[in-house]
Amino acid sequence: MNVIFLREGDARSRPVTLSVGRIAAGAFALFGLMPLVFGALAFWLFAHRGPSASGGVAPDALGQIHKLAATSRADLAGLAASVGRLRARASRLDALSARLGTLAGLPAGAVSLPAAFDTAPTAPSAGQGWTIAGLRALSEQLKTEFAQRSAQLAVLASILAAHRVASRMTPRGWPVRGGWISSPFGPRPDPFTGRPGFHPGIDIAAPLGTPVRAMAAGIVIFAGRDGGFGRLVKISVGHSEVTMYAHLSARYVHVGEVIHKHELLGRVGDTGYSTGPHLHFEVTVHGAPINPARFLRLADRR
């Protein structure tokens, strides 16, 4: 096929020869590209005009998905922080338990940290695959461990309180500062008759007027004069034990008064049957005298 082109103002002609094969090939190529063009146009319209009937995800749905993901991440971070706080609390609780155990006289390791605290991770990392459900389960486990540990601490506190009370109510120390034992506990000749006798306490010689202090806490059951003991004070310290301070020149407590350990009771005197200023200190259990020297602490003598 010959096609002749004429330009305005130009008398020359330009013949162009087109074969039928080339025209057919061009037409087929054009019609073959049209589906691609229309497909691209349809995709553009889908992306800019919303969901299609084929089940595409709308922007609102995508927003909900992002919001849910953000909430999940926030929940996970919050639970991880909670587990971290629980672990820190567990460490402090374990240190306190060890301290109380030591004060209560329990053997080392009697109250050790539960295994759950040692194996629980401190914080989630990218490779651990933590879940919210897993963190919640761990948190509940730690709370259970805390309840058990709190019960242990309550028992330890009771033991410690009992020890403290026993320590305060056990005679220990030195009733007068600067004194010395002038007559021990046990058999001895009577200082007035010379006959064999028994001394139910110890005599602590000290200058007249030296302060006399309680060796143990308790309740005053007698305060006054009693024959050869002169002016004296008796204190019940529990467990049927009674401490007595005799030959006082002055007393400062009364019957029924609660006495604290090392509290001032009176002053060294020479009242009753006495050969000089001294304190007669006596301890009885169920009414029977025992050697009070076992309760004296030389460190408290000065």
Q: Looking at 108-112, 158-162, 218-222, 248-252, which range is the least confident one?
A: 108-112
pLDDT at 227 over 70: yes
Please state the rounded mean pLDDT for residues 201-216. 95
Q: Where are the beta strands (DSSP E) in the chain?
A: 2-6, 13-17, 180-183, 186-189, 196-199, 202-205, 211-213, 218-225, 231-238, 241-251, 258-259, 264-268, 278-285, 288-290
Alpha carbon distance 284, 261 (integer Å): 18
Please state the rounded mean pLDDT for residues 92-114. 66
Structure confidence by residue, pLDDT tens digits, 131-183: 667 777 777 877 787 777 777 777 777 777 777 777 777 778 889 988 899 99
Q: Residue 250, Cβ neighbours under 10 Å: how many?
A: 14
- Global pTM reads 0.53
Confidence of residue 219 (pLDDT cuts 50, 70, 90): very high
Confidence of residue 295 (pLDDT cuts 50, 70, 90): confident
**What is the model's pLDDT at position 67?**
62
Architecture, CATH, for domain 180-300 = Distorted Sandwich (2.70)
Q: How far is CA 24 from CA 27, 28, 119, in A?
A: 5, 6, 78
pLDDT at 90 over 80: no
Is 261:168 a contact under the CB 8 Å cutoff? yes
- Characterize the bridge pairing of strands 211-213 and 264-268: antiparallel
| End-to-end Cα separation, the chain, in angstroms | 138
Nearest to 219 by CA among 176, 164, 168, 174: 168
Structure confidence by residue, pLDDT tens digits, 5-62: 445 555 554 554 444 344 344 433 444 444 444 455 555 555 555 544 444 556 665 6
Q: What angle do CA 149, 162, 266 make, to 5 degrees?
A: 150
pLDDT at 190 over 90: no
Q: What percent of the chain has pLDDT over 70?
A: 63
Structure confidence by residue, pLDDT tens digits, 229-264: 999 999 999 878 999 999 999 999 999 999 999 999
**What is the model's pLDDT at position 30?**
40
